[in-house]
Amino acid sequence: MARAVGIDLGTSYSCVAVFQQGTVEIIPNERGNRITPSYVAFTDDGRLIGDAAKNQITSNPNNTIFNTKRLIGRKFDDASLRTDTTHWPFKVVNYVGKPKILVEYKNETKLFTPEEISSMILIKLKDMAETYLGKKITDAVITVPASFNYSQRQATKNAGVIAGLNVLRIMDELSAVGIGYGFDKNISSERNVCIFDLGAGTFNVSILKIEKDIYEVISIAGDTHLGGIDFDNQMVAHFVQEFKRKHNKDLLQNKRAVRRLRSACESAKHTLSTSFQASIELESLHEGIDFYSTITRTCFEEMNAHLFRLTLDLVEKALRDAKMGKSSIHDIILNGGSTRIPQIQKLLQEFFNNKELNKSLHPDEAVTYGAAIQAAILTGDKSEKIKDTLLLDVVPFSLGIETTGGFMTALLKRNTTIPTKQTKTFTIKSYTQSDNIVTELVVCDKPIPVKDTKTATTSSDKQVSVDIKIYEGEHSLTKDDNLLDSFILSGISLTSLTVPQIDVTFDIDANGILAVSAVDKTSKQENKITVTNDKERLSKYEIEYMIGDAERFKREDETQDEHILAKNSLEEYCLHVKATINDRQLTDKIDNYDMKKMIFSIEDTMEWLETNH
């Protein structure tokens, strides 16, 4: 049976795992680390991915890309994106309304989509899995935050396709944590679980009902722009102001200095999880000025108090949507690196009336753990421990259509369990505008005003069409929601005797794939569409082009690896020969001329390696 892997494509770190022989195995990278930095760097010599990319960011900040998860599936004019770009050393440009990342690579200027950068990280994880398992890997489950919208999910799937993966499912991270939690628990009676997932870039909370092998998501809430990065930003801003106050210099004008400060702030944040004070020590930070300072845990908590409070507001929202009180929750499960912050744990425990928090899951690996189990289930693994596992997920945002006045009319409300199917009947409002008949949908339980009814009836029969626009979101007006797709229903009869009635059906499967159909009850005219969000997604041509690029990059990486291996082998050989001829036991056996000749050859070779490589 072909192996499928589970992948947590994280904001700061990513992780890959496989389910085999009844257990989950987290796959280490070449350094033996179980998590890999979600970093990609471009240099004059080639690409670096993971630890190697992160380790050289200070010397190459403009061409080291990270936090791609905050870019993927977004439009360039997204408000949160405008905020993020002020914190990134690399450049994000507007390309036909979408963000692209500009880098210098092998002395050329290149543009990459967020999907391409994410695919490079996925290829790295795929290669790690293939090395670990000794076989080719194509199938994968990739996780995303529960609060990701349709565009972000589709973009993540595209990244998987570019990486050469068959994406079995785009899975909510919270659902993966839930499955990972229940895997070893052998839960026989019903338990209500709150999963509190605070990572580097996103925050999500879910209320799950677990009984035996059935995992039912009751509600989700979250913010795709709230996490450890935002806590870092607060600390960076604090020290930028301190530097300006002490030295009357603006650090923000020096990208390398800001990057060094950010790295120091990240380390300080980690220190403050176990200590009450952390130091910042940066020599020659800006214009030769050394910067030394300290920060207390109390100060860190105060500067982030409003962000910490936001997480509890979303927990309240999730409980409210689930129609549950705090006392109904049996377990509060922590996930994500930022849950290590003591104040986060303190506030959450107080919120749940001092109930003990469950810290049994590894906060960096739990998502991958559940994704690997789901991947095994989807590829037909019949292991006793997972064969009866059933996940009932929900739609993260309301789904509906635009009705007269530009209103959003939901057919599937947020947190509706999937798979599901829902039909709603609409009438047609029509009027003449510049000699053209304009039609709009009206909800049947909202009667058409008399003046509109008159304009909807004519002395002779007419054929009209209506544009069905499909939206995602919680705003009452569609202009504030996310347009997913649209299609035309034609051949609708307008007569003086009847007002047309249109049945619109939303049918969403377990994978979150939405099919929408519309039928005119009178004429029986029908049209349907599977929502693909073509306006936002990459075209088939673009994906194929990027797949070709990815394969070319991989060949270049392999050539570079061979080059480095050959260089290292030659260098080791030279050092070995040098050590050998310096051995006293051999000195008497080699005459002076040959000895000098060998030493000259070794030094000449070493100098050549230094100059040319």
CA 6 to centroid of chain Cα atoms: 14
- What is the DSSP-derived secondary structure letter of residue 357? P
Catalytic one among 8, 364, 481, 485? Answer: 8
Sign of the torsion angle spanned by Cα atoms 376, 378, 384, 388: positive
In degrees, to the nearest 5, what angle opens at C-alpha 564 toward C-alphas 561 and 566? Answer: 110
- Peptide bond before residue 396 is cis, with ω within 30 degrees of 0: no
Residue with tokens 């082009």: 545
Alpha-carbon span 282 to 142, nearest angstrom: 39
Q: How far from each other are the two terminal CA atoms of the chain, in whole angstroms?
A: 44
Which is catalytic among the residues 115, 172, 173, 266? 173
With both helix axes pointing from N to C terminus, report the angle between 540-581 and 150-162 in degrees, rounded to the nearest 10: 50
Q: Is 589 a catalytic residue?
A: no
State how far the Cα of 66 lies from the Cα of 48, in Å rounded to an integer. 12
- Report how far residue 327's alpha carbon sits from residue 344's, in angstroms, rounded to the nearest whole number: 20
The amino acid sitting at 584 is R
How many helices (H) and strands (E) would you count in the chain?
Answer: 15, 28
The number of residues making up the chain comes to 613
> Catalytic residue at 173?
yes
In the set 84, 115, 172, 197, the catalytic residue is 197
- Strands 420-433 and 501-508 come out as antiparallel
* Catalytic site residue from 54, 69, 98, 209: 69
CA distance 112 to 123: 16
The angle subtended at Cα 607 by Cα 603 and Cα 610, nearest 5°, is 140
**Residue 98 CB partners (closer than 8 Å, separation 6+):** 75, 76, 113
Locate tokens 């051995």: which residue? 583
Token pair 């810290």 is at which residue? Answer: 359
276 sits in which H/E element: none
Cβ atoms of residues 24 and 369 within 8 Å: yes
| SS3 state at 99 | strand
Look up tokens 């690409």; give the residue. 47
| Catalytic sites, residue numbers | 8, 69, 173, 197
